[in-house]
Amino acid sequence: MSKSFEMHRFFTEAQDRFDNFVLVTLLAVCAYLAKSNPYAPLGFNTETIYFLSLALFILSAIFGFKRIEYAIVMYRLNHQLLYADEKHDQNTVNNARAALKEVIQKGERYYKLRNALMFAGLVVYVTAKYWAVYA
């Protein structure tokens, strides 16, 4: 095996483990918040801010699932591309490249959305904690 192949394999394994870790952590946060947050009718109150933080974390987890889903599709398309290239099937190579480019863009979009919503959920949760003390 070449060094570049081994490094790529280590990178993809680390990326997959990280995505799985973040998703499991998000699901644990969602379960904790759903169990421990106080809830009341929606309005301009602390409980609504807590609910908003939970909703942001849930959305982040959904985008985390989508990120993992698109990573799997990316691996499948990579395999198709390499196999077609070995068989010198230029039409399949071109189709796989176009599909792979689109999947990579969507995966990156879900990555950014997951992280942005996770950060927003944290900010809203901390805001709710301070709001509860000072309101």
* Counted domains in the chain: 1
Rounded Cα distance between 39 and 18, Å, is: 32
Per residue in 78-94, pLDDT (tens digit) is 989 888 888 888 988 89
Q: How confident is the model at residue 134 (pLDDT cuts 50, 70, 90)?
A: confident
Domain assignment of residue 80, given as a range:
3-134
Rounded Cα distance between 118 and 65, Å, is: 13
- Mean pLDDT for 28-34 is 96
Distances (CA, A) of 79 to 14, 21, 28, 75, 85: 19, 25, 33, 6, 10
Single-letter amino acid, residue 43: G
Asked if residue 27 has pLDDT above 80, the reply is yes
Top mean-pLDDT range of 8-17, 109-118, 124-133: 109-118
Q: How confident is the model at residue 6 (pLDDT cuts 50, 70, 90)?
A: confident
Q: Please tell me the pTM assigned to this model.
A: 0.88
Asked if residue 4 has pLDDT above 90, the reply is no
Looking at residue 8, what is its pLDDT? Answer: 81
Asked if residue 43 has pLDDT above 90, the reply is no
